[in-house]
Amino acid sequence: MKHYPHPSFAKEGWSFIAISVGIAIFVLWLTNIVAALPFIIIAAFVVQFFRDPARTIPQDPNVVLSPADGKIIAIEETHDAYQNVAALKISVFMNVFNVHSNRSPVDGQVLDVQYFAGKFVNADFDKASTENERNAVIVRLASGQKITFVQVAGLIARRILCYTKPGDLLKRGERYGFIRFGSRVDVYLPVSATPLVSIGQKVKATETILAKID
């Protein structure tokens, strides 16, 4: 099943793409390929950063999908401060070469959205989960279970965008947010959940299954 109501490039990047490509073309027109090469490289980076490809969506209602592209950097039992419960946390780190659109990992109703101002330390550090700027979304599944997924800003990331609000119904694979230029997403699951990924594993938003919930 495909779920993709957006163009192949994220709308958050349309202006960046237009400006960078326009400058590269203008410099090339005024000068030559050698002088324009740095601007062409910058334009190519901007275009690849804002790519937003369609993804195939697993439909098993008992699995939790990755909300982001990147690498698994944490799988641990911890405390979900947003719900104030014990939880299994799985963290996905996104570098500047990953797709940065964030997609809902489950089907469910949004109960709460919590934004916290904070620092911009390297998102690969554990303390980024509690000290950096972040935006948490709490969703209730049809089973009544609740999960939290948190967009966390990074060293370079300076803008978290979240388009959902309490009361919304999210569908797995649905695009709900975007983080610009390197960051992470933390997913807090019930402690009974079974992780299906490992540390260091590369994952794709929507297509990779993070865990199974009983």
Residues designated as active site: 183
Joined tokens for residue 118: 């904070």
Q: List b or e across 21-60, with b for residues whose CB sees 16 or more CB atoms inside 10 angstroms.
A: beebeebeeeeeeeebeebbeebeebeebbebeebebeee
Q: Which position has the token pair 């979304």?
A: 137
